Amino acid sequence: MKKDGRLEPFQKEKIINGCVNAGASREIAEKIANEVESKASDQMPTSQIKEIVIAGLERDAPEAVATFNAYVKPK
């Protein structure tokens, strides 16, 4: 669920691309996306998804966390 309340289908590739663009390897990005996919529910807010992604990056690719945070900075 987006901040404005719209529902959007889960798109694993968006998470992978965001992690890779932040500097994580494709392998780590896929691992994190799989983790999110296993925890995601139909109406999970994007903020909660972001928390799972950041936790995964902190664990597996800490050098990518700052870049990821800047990439998904609230508008």
What pLDDT shows up at residue 31?
A: 98
Average pLDDT of the residues of the chain: 89
Domain boundaries, the chain: 12-71
Burial 3-41 (b: 16+ CB within 10 A, else e): eeeeeeeeeeeebbebbbebbbeeebbbbbbebbeeeee
Are the C-beta atoms of 10 and 53 separated by less than 8 Å? no
Q: At what angle do helices 12-22 and 46-60 cross, to 10 degrees?
A: 40
Please write the tens of the pLDDT for every residue from 24-48: 999 999 999 999 999 987 788 888 9
pLDDT of 2 above 70: no
Could you tell me what percent of the chain has a pLDDT over 70?
89
State pTM to two decimals: 0.85
